[in-house]
Structure 1
Amino acid sequence: MKKGSEKRVKKKLTGPEQVAEFMAKLDHPLKEEIEEVRKIILSCDSRITEHIKWNAPSFLIENDDRITFNLKGKGFFRLIFHCGAKKSPEPIKEPLFVDNTGILEWQTNDRALVNFFNKNDVKDKEEKLRTLIKEWIRTTAN
């Protein structure tokens, strides 16, 4: 083989490697808080895996995206709770479940948001977020 004819093939990163690389390069004023929320999500269920979707960390159950960061805000970030890319065969007529935590902002009956503004906000919402994540997974997992 001639010198220089070998092409370097970039190894495809695993989901966690994608997220680690993304977080290492992330320039966001709430990076520490984002990392804390990420740890909370991953600790809620051993089946949760992660990768990058919509240019942010996203969390999957059985290879279906369920929770994705939205990091585009100024002075805040949000989590998007969703049911993945698959269309529901019939329209959902009411929210997937009753949110007893009070922190979800329903956008549609199968999509909701939670906003975070600072370290204290993450700390104040931590237990409610854990409850919410477990309920979302229980309700949306196949």
Structure 2
Amino acid sequence: MPTSTLDEYLHQLEPALRATVEALRRIILSTHAAIGEQVKWNSPSFYYRGALPASADPKQYPCDIVVLNLHRGYPLLVFPTGARIPDAAGVLEGSYPDGRRLLPIRDAAEAEAKAETLQHLLRQWLATVFDQA
């Protein structure tokens, strides 16, 4: 989905939440050129925009890296395939049968404080899932 659609989506958020999401957006997109953005599941979403391997199962959401669930008033980063990410820092929460893992970010200051850790997780995802680093 075009960036302008995500820009329009963000413009509708209350200012503090928008500032947090914009900080996360900048951090995530600056991690690697293969990361794209869209509105998916009615939320800001970031995905791998490279070629899928022939063996990839689309029902397993192979390209979805992280979706921002904003329904709590702060971003809850949902990694649909997060169980596959090596998490040496131990920041990912949850152990769900579908393999998702979570990372709550309460505000823009916390996003900035965890920027390096988040970028490391994203690079780990790229290296693990698509052999991109």
TM-score range, shorter chain: 0.7 to 0.9
C-alpha deviations, 1:5-47, integer Å up to 9, x for none? Answer: xxxxxxxxx4312211111222364210110001100011101
For 1:96, the equivalent position in structure 2 comes to 84
Distance 1:119 1:20, change over 3 A: closer
Alignment partners' CA distance in 2, 1:97 and 1:68 = 15
Bigger radius of gyration? 1
Contact 2:76/2:103 (8 A) holds in 1: yes
Contact 1:77/1:116 (8 A) holds in 2: yes
Match of 1:82 among 80, 83, 107: 80
> RMSD of the alignment, in Å?
2.0
Q: How many residues align?
A: 117
TM-score with structure 2 length normalisation? 0.77
Distance 1:119 1:17, change over 3 A: closer
Structure 2 residue 68 is the aligned partner of structure 1 residue 57: no
Structure 1 residue 132: deviation in Å? 0.7
> Larger % of helix: which?
2
Contact 1:56/1:71 (8 A) holds in 2: yes
TM-score with structure 1 length normalisation? 0.72
Alignment partners' CA distance in 2, 1:49 and 1:57 = 11
Match of 2:114 among 125, 128, 133: 125
Contact 2:94/2:100 (8 A) holds in 1: yes
Distance 1:43 1:79, change over 3 A: same
Give 5+ residue unaligned stretches, structure 1: 1-13, 84-94
Alignment partners' CA distance in 1, 2:46 and 2:110 = 21
Aligned identity (percent) is 29
Tell me which amino acid in the other structure corresponds to 2:105: F
Match of 1:105 among 87, 93, 96: 93
C-alpha deviations, 1:59-113, integer Å up to 9, x for none? Answer: 1113722211100003x22111114xxxxxxxxxxx4243112211133363111
> Larger % of strand: which?
1
Give 5+ residue unaligned stretches, structure 2: 51-62
